[in-house]
């Protein structure tokens, strides 16, 4: 069987790294794999050592539809090309050409709405694997990301109507029947939510197939905690304006800290490192670190959040985009962590660490949820997803 993975939106290792166990299993079962990646350099870094073929995903580079503060998923679609007939036609053409060249039996979509849409139009069975955010509830209009904007239902519907007109223009030119609502572009043969109801960005849904988070604990560099007294903190941080302050604060703390900062140079890492703070430019194996981890600091990415929550680790998040902000809000509501917005890092970062580490409430609540899912088996879940992919062309059942 030929299986095409597609990733179009987002920008970190997790969009590929979390699929490594699934990709390995599918390859062991004899399937031919191709990963169409938004970021070809990340694909080269993670997939080339595995011997998994990868190509650049079709993207629109000349269309300037950037929306500074997306209000709903309609704005996400607009940003990648759904707001312009030429851009959308080019995207669909790119995916159709890739389908014609590779001839996939199944498409597995990872935050890839244009690929999903193309698969539906051109008859390729499609499985959507979503953490929740990239597959919003099937309601019209799409849920509002930023309630403080106080946009009316009419305003949201007006945005969707414009994108629907664009999509239907493209469909009509190809002799395909028009759609009645924008939400239909996200329809697939099967959609599975690779999350927990507690971590769904939109809140727990009554009609949804939750199968649990996808993450890998065994990939990365091997590193153990230093033998110093004090709390043990793991940090996964991106290079962005507040990073120097956070590294300085961690360097001055009494904690043993292992920090992963993708792309940080050796010289820059050395300026902050000491016997308590060790900084790495690549991911670390989490399996040996989780049992003794007192706190995890991240930007609010879903993959790591799922791993930490299932292992009872409280979190401090510094969200840098709306997806991370929504998940950070869920973690705060659950009582398993705190969030600090970028504009408050210099004021609240150090004190928030102390509050989580010194007060037991966040850890206790994280352990409550961890015990609730004590029987969760990530390897078994991966095997079930592989079974589903194999059966999808015939019946599309998760088993």
Residue 11: inside a domain:
yes
Instruction: Let me know whether 318 and 280 are in one domain.
Output: yes
Instruction: Let me know whether 111 and 76 are in one domain.
Output: yes
Instruction: Let me know whether 195 and 236 are in one domain.
Output: no
Residue 226: inside a domain:
no
Instruction: Let me know whether 202 and 314 are in one domain.
Output: no
Tell me: the pLDDT tens digits for 3-58?
999 999 988 788 999 999 999 999 999 999 999 999 999 999 999 999 999 999 99
Q: What is the number of H-type helices and E-type strands within the chain?
A: 14, 12
Instruction: Let me know whether 175 and 243 are in one domain.
Output: no
In the block, tokens 């299986």 appear at: 3
Instruction: Let me know whether 316 and 356 are in one domain.
Output: yes
Please state, in angstroms and rounded to a whole number, the distance separating the CA atoms of residues 369 and 337. 13
Length of the chain: 399
Instruction: Let me know whether 237 and 382 are in one domain.
Output: no
CATH of the domain at 287: 3.40.50.2000
Instruction: Let me know whether 189 and 70 are in one domain.
Output: yes
What pLDDT score was predicted for residue 399?
41
What pLDDT score was predicted for residue 267?
86
- Structural domain span for residue 138: 2-212+378-391
What pLDDT score was predicted for residue 64?
63
Encoded tokens for 370: 């961890």
Instruction: Let me know whether 384 and 298 are in one domain.
Output: no
Report how many domains make up the chain: 2
What pLDDT score was predicted for residue 398?
45
225: Cα within 13 Å, side-chain hemisphere: 22
Percent of the chain as helix, strand, coil, to the nearest 5: 45, 15, 40
Residue 217: inside a domain:
no
Residue 65: inside a domain:
yes
Instruction: Let me know whether 179 and 245 are in one domain.
Output: no
Instruction: Let me know whether 358 and 387 are in one domain.
Output: no
Pick from 35, 36, 48, 42: nearest CA to 14: 42
Residue 399: inside a domain:
no
Residue 398: inside a domain:
no
Residue 218: inside a domain:
no
Residues of the chain with pLDDT under 50: 398-399
What pLDDT score was predicted for residue 219?
87
Encoded tokens for 216: 């890998």
- Strand ranges in the chain using DSSP code E only, listed in sequence order: 2-7, 32-37, 53-56, 106-110, 126-130, 190-193, 232-236, 256-260, 277-280, 295-298, 315-317, 337-339
Instruction: Let me know whether 365 and 385 are in one domain.
Output: no
Residue 219: inside a domain:
no
In the block, tokens 């609010």 appear at: 300
**Cβ(316)–Cβ(304) under 8 Å?**
no
Report CA-CA distances (Å) from 383 to 16, 33, 108, 323: 17, 16, 15, 28
Tell me: the pLDDT tens digits for 50-100?
999 999 999 998 766 678 889 999 999 999 999 999 999 999 999 999 999
């Amino acid at each position: 069987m030929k299986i095409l993975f597609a990733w179009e939106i987002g920008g970190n290792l997790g969009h590929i790294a979390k699929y490594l166990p699934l990709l390995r299993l599918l390859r062991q079962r004899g399937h031919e794999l191709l990963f169409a990646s938004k970021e070809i350099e990340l694909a080269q870094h993670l997939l080339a050592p595995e011997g998994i073929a990868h190509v650049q995903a079709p993207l629109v580079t000349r269309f300037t539809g950037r929306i500074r503060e997306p209000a709903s998923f309609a704005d996400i679609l607009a940003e990648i090309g759904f707001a312009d007939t030429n851009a959308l036609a080019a995207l669909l053409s790119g995916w159709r050409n890739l389908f014609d060249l590779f001839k996939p039996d199944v498409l597995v979509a990872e935050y890839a709405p244009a690929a999903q849409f193309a698969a539906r139009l051109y008859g390729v069975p499609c499985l959507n694997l979503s953490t929740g955010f990239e597959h919003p509830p099937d309601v019209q209009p799409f849920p509002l990301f930023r309630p403080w904007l106080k946009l009316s239902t009419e305003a949201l519907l007006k945005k969707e109507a414009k994108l629907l007109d664009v999509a239907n223009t493209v469909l009509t030119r190809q002799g395909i029947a028009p759609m009645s609502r924008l939400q239909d572009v996200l329809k697939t043969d099967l959609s599975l939510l690779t999350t927990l109801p507690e971590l769904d960005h939109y809140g727990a849904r009554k009609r949804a197939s939750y199968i649990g988070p996808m993450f890998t604990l065994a990939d990365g560099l091997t590193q153990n905690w230093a033998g110093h007294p004090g709390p043990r903190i793991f940090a996964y941080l991106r290079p962005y304006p507040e990073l120097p302050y956070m590294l300085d604060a961690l360097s001055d703390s009494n904690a043993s800290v292992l920090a992963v900062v993708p792309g940080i140079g050796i010289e820059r890492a050395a300026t902050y490192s000491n016997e308590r703070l060790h900084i790495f430019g690549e991911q670390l194996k989490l399996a040996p670190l989780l049992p003794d981890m007192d706190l995890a600091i991240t930007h609010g990415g879903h993959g790591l959040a799922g791993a930490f929550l299932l292992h009872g680790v409280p979190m401090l998040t510094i969200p840098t985009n709306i997806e991370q902000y929504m998940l950070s809000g869920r973690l705060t509501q659950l009582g398993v962590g705190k969030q600090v917005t970028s504009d408050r890092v210099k004021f609240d970062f150090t004190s928030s660490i102390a509050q989580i580490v010194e007060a037991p409430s966040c850890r206790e609540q994280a352990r409550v949820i961890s015990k609730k899912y004590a029987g969760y088996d990530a390897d078994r879940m991966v095997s079930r997803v592989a079974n589903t992919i194999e059966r999808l062309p015939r019946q599309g059942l998760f088993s």
